[in-house]
Structure 1
Amino acid sequence: MAQQIGSQSWDTDVLIVGAGPVGLTLACELLRRGVSCRLIEQLETPYTIVRAHALQPRTLELFDRMGLIEPVLRQGGEVPPWYLYDGQKRVGELGFAPLKQEPYPGMWFIQQPTVEHILHERLQELGGNIEYSHNLTQLQNSPNGITATVVAPDKTVELRARYLVGCDGGHSTTRHLLGIPFTGKTLPGLLLIAEVDMDWARSRNRAHIWLHPNGLFSATFIEEVGKWQLVVAAPALSREQVPTASLDLFQQLFQQRTGDMHTRLSNPSWTSVFAINQRLARNYRQEQAFLAGDAAHVHSPAGGLGMNTGIQDAYNLAWKLALVIKDRAYPALLDTYEEERRPVGELLLQATEANTTVALSGNAGMRFMRDHLLLPLTRLPALKRKATQRGAQLDLNYRTSSLARSDELSNVKTAYSAAYLQNKLLQLVTPTLLQAGDRAPDGTCLQALDHNATSLFQEMRGTSWHLLLFAGRPGPRPYIQGLIGLAQQIEARLGAWSSEVLPLLIISSYQQLRAHNWPGKVLLDPEGRLHKRYGAQGQALYLVRPDGYIGFRGFPGRPEALFDYLDTIFLPPQISPTKEEAHV
């Protein structure tokens, strides 16, 4: 049924093209926020080939916010260690060092089809569905909305939507119809992949990797399909030399790379051969249309970041679309999607190309450095932790975004207060101190009223922003009363939109709250761990966005700075934006 809003009529708020993990994440998050969407997919049935194997800790945090972490953890497992071989001799083992401070300390081994199944179930719970065998063929994109021609098995229809998001992969029809350039390069060599049966007795709980002068060869057992996935690097081959990947070719490469002349490969469920493309869309937005996931960036699979980055694209865009569509935020909020996510895509291409050069190179000098210098170094605990942290995507930040703002100076009365000076000193001696644009970290605490154990992430689940009000050291009643007053001012200022920003008062002693009759949520941090992790020696506030990044960082002593920040994002209640009013 078409929606009539003002003089415009739409069949749906958002048309999503492509029902992989990116499109499914976007659809679930829009529906969870009360925004209508239609999700179309050109395939006839769900995609079952395993292209991606793991979720990074940052993506697990988003699934936690979505309320999906339990099935993800239940249906996955820890990433297996990698056994390294030179022929028949095992020469080493690679593993990952857990990030002990984090709720999800490392990659989680779960296959893409399983992730899609979990998301599809949630989509259905939210009242959505996938429209299979629907092909986007034409597109009209204007500031007033989208008109899309979609060919279904029994009809051709025109759909009108306020926005369209292309999540339709590296060969994106959406990107092609929008005419957005997809620039980059093709790396030398090929990757060959197959899923097969193998009559050997090697452990299924390990990944097996052979270091060979002609390129790496890996074998990993995929529990969901009951087969071994083989990945072969062929840096010296071209598509002209290997147009297709047959079982016989994989048998030949297996024997060459491993020296195992007895194990037989059989019953392939699929095989593939492809060149490694590194490409990035020139822009992620064009008027009312957006690109996300592989439609915006394709790259080497080295590092396991593709599915994860796409899911994070979708989450970033979903909360912004919802606020704008519901007339709670200025439309220019949507410009920050490309502003924030395209630089992440650029970093992704740089990192995966470097990983590919090291891991798959056919250069003798590079192989020697990899096998005799880099691999031994990765056994050192400190470097293991560094590698795990980098791959976890927890260090990605939006510090340069227009949505990241810090109020470094309070007003004249408090600019040189002990709390302010202490904070400035911490910034000088602790360069890792949290800044606006950083991911907001987790930490354990207690629910103040009943002293039940909880965590900050548990308390921030949902779709809202959260205003973290740190009380600092125990102080007199006015000290706490000022924080409570600020929370009440925010609620009054947002009016009908007040549910979009939820305050969390974080105190170090329950005595700080006694005699205060405040119905809001209070967390107790008796050992000061949360205060320390956020660098809150005195009073401090952090406004955390719906995607878990810090939007604003400041001091409660000057609420005007926070009010100004909120005013650049949120519309006054009941006011709809005009084009001239839109700003961030």
Structure 2
Amino acid sequence: MSEDDVLIVGAGPTGLTLAIELARRGAGVRIVDAAPVPHRESRGKGLQPRTLEVLEDVGVTERALATGTTRLPFRKYFDGAHVNDTDPFADARPTPDAPYERGVLIGQWQVEELLRERLAEFGTTVELGTEVTGFEQDADGVTAVLADGERIRAGYLVGCDGGRSRVRRAMGVRFDGTTEEAQSMVVGDVEAEGIGRDVWHQWFTSDGSGVALCPMPGTNSFQFQASPELDASGEPLPPSLESFQRIFDRHARVPGITLTDPTWLSVWRVNVRMVDRMRVGRVFLAGDAAHVHPIAGGLGMNTGIQDAYNLGWKLALATAGQAGPGLLDTYEEERLPVAAWTLGISTELYARVLEAVKEPGTGVEAAAPPPMGTGYRWSSLATSTTTSAGDPDTLRPGDRAPDAPCLDASGRPVRLFQVYADPRFTLLGFGPEVADAVGKLAAEYAGLVQAFAVDAGDLEDHEGHARRAYGVTDPALVLVRPDNHVALLTRDPADVANYLTHIATFTPKE
């Protein structure tokens, strides 16, 4: 029985992102999924700006932007009459520190396809039709049991197997929250010839119900969303093409439109649940296996991808035997509060949608979510120093590291996000006064850190955007984590060395 560093159970966006993060850092990873073939369902259909930043680091954002669309106005109808066309992000513009001003509409199956392609570039593929039924763990690793009786040994196991997670149940953690059986929605993918594909159609009626058709880029399909038909006891009827057609005809009041070619039909119920723990020993949970959300805002897929981004570099250090004491504990420390916040936000958004459809002048666009991924200021990894560089009210340890345009050593344009794509920590030294310290730290921690002297040979902050984004006015050292959050702001090279020594059991070179 061979042993891998990490076994990932579930090959949705969360599991695939985690597999890439581990593979690009040299960890041995095996990823399995119970499904016999990849699905082709739109499901969670939006990537938020912060997730695009994450996926740029992972290596798929350019492909996602080419596949999806960033501009799709909302067209609202009320009792059959056209009310308005709106684009809540019409005035949004990219800035030097935030290059993605809006999200991208893209089917979940397309996101997964892009992630599988990226993972294959590291020589790893998903093992489909492979179901994990249980596991045992000891001090040295985890032994997973497959449905066919095979046993897989790994150093760590991560459950990314969705809301009905078998891994979560086997861990014995709580999954607190509620399931609102009375609040449900039918969703699916259908074709509808004769309906324009340049807007997201939303038909609402004075009784408070409605139906929406969202054109999915790169396909002939629309994602269908509506309140379900109910039986005599008030239970949702099973979704079918015929019921979708009846719902559409009743709300849209557009004659001659026939829904065809259903590739996904489902009933979605309001679930608001999260675990009380995301780690038990060598077993972790991420994505929907750890937290499930109301559909509004598209927060589920985005939160899961960001879970994986947080865990990947930490788990990679652990598999290399270099994780400092408590580093793996910071995954739960940082992500569990985010899950709780997201559940509160997505529940509020869903309530706003239900209220918005009752008013002719508002609609689903009222549920535009707030920014995600702003940071982990509360984390034990967000070390404060007495010699903090910059204004702590503008940028502090734990915050998302901003982007900025610079010039590389040869004078070519380069963005900080491109610099941060290296899987190591990144050290920026602002000013010639700290250039020698930057060079020394780079040499001592070469396997853990890449370092750049800004305005002293390595990078040129030619327009001052980097200094403004990081609040730097004097010579300063900025240490950025592998998941592009600020680790440290300081003027003292000893602070950097102390931080790195705490994070990793890494012996500096003499």
Does the alignment reach a TM-score above 0.5?
A: yes
Q: CA deviation at 1:251?
A: 2.0
Q: 1:79 to 1:183 in 2, by over 3 A?
A: farther
Q: Which is helix-richer, 1 or 2?
A: 1
Q: 2-side partners of 1:238 and 1:289: how far apart?
A: 45
Deviations 1:526-550 (A, max 9, x none): 3322211211111222110011100
Q: 1-side partners of 2:58 and 2:307: how far apart?
A: 15
Q: Does 1:542 align with 2:490?
A: no
Q: In the alignment, which of 69, 73, 82 is matched to residue 81 of structure 1?
A: 73
SS in 2 for 1:255: helix
1:400-439 alignment to 2 at 5 Å?
Answer: 400-409=378-387, 423=390, 426-427=391-392, 431=393, 433-439=394-400
1:92-241 alignment to 2 at 5 Å?
Answer: 92-95=84-87, 96=89, 97-101=91-95, 102-152=98-148, 156-187=149-180, 188-200=182-194, 202-212=195-205, 213-233=207-227, 241=235
Q: Does 1:440 align with 2:401?
A: yes
Identity over aligned pairs, percent: 35
Stretches of structure 2 that go unaligned for 5 or more consecutive residues are none
Q: CA deviation at 1:194?
A: 2.3
1:238-253 alignment to 2 at 5 Å?
Answer: 241-253=235-247
Q: 2-side partners of 1:318 and 1:33: how far apart?
A: 9
Deviations 1:112-133 (A, max 9, x none): 1111111112222211121111
Counterpart residue identity of residue 163, structure 2:
G
Q: 1:218 to 1:376 in 2, by over 3 A?
A: closer
Q: 1:238 to 1:40 in 2, by over 3 A?
A: farther
Equivalent residue, structure 2, for 1:340: 334
Q: 2-side partners of 1:376 and 1:491: how far apart?
A: 50
Q: 1:31 to 1:367 in 2, by over 3 A?
A: closer
SS in 2 for 1:260: coil
Preserved CA contact (<8 Å) 2:64 2:111: yes
SS in 1 for 2:34: coil
Q: 1-side partners of 2:23 and 2:193: how far apart?
A: 47
Q: Does 1:561 align with 2:495?
A: yes
SS in 2 for 1:63: helix
Preserved CA contact (<8 Å) 1:134 1:151: yes
Stretches of structure 1 that go unaligned for 5 or more consecutive residues are 3-10, 379-386, 411-419, 472-479, 508-512, 514-520, 576-584
Equivalent residue, structure 1, for 2:504: 570
Q: CA deviation at 1:19?
A: 1.0
SS in 1 for 2:380: coil
Equivalent residue, structure 1, for 2:428: 468
Preserved CA contact (<8 Å) 1:445 1:453: yes
Deviations 1:7-29 (A, max 9, x none): xxxx1111110111111111111
Deviations 1:116-171 (A, max 9, x none): 1111122222111211111111211233211111124xxx2111111000000000
SS in 1 for 2:297: coil
What's the TM-score, normalizing by structure 2?
A: 0.92
Q: 1-side partners of 2:465 and 2:41: how far apart?
A: 44
Deviations 1:548-583 (A, max 9, x none): 1001112x2x333222222211214299xxxxxxxx
Q: Does 1:16 align with 2:16?
A: no
Q: CA deviation at 1:377?
A: 11
SS in 2 for 1:131: coil
Q: 1:243 to 1:376 in 2, by over 3 A?
A: closer
Q: CA deviation at 1:39?
A: 0.8
Q: 1-side partners of 2:175 and 2:229: how far apart?
A: 24
Between 86-95 and 31-40, the greater mean CA deviation after superposition = 86-95
Q: Which has the larger radius of gyration?
A: 1
What's the TM-score, normalizing by structure 1?
A: 0.81
Between 128-137 and 60-69, the greater mean CA deviation after superposition = 60-69
Equivalent residue, structure 1, for 2:287: 293
Q: 1-side partners of 2:351 and 2:11: how far apart?
A: 32
Between 288-297 and 498-507, the greater mean CA deviation after superposition = 498-507
SS in 1 for 2:447: helix
Count residues with an aligned counterpart: 503
Q: 1-side partners of 2:265 and 2:464: how far apart?
A: 54
Q: CA deviation at 1:40?
A: 1.0
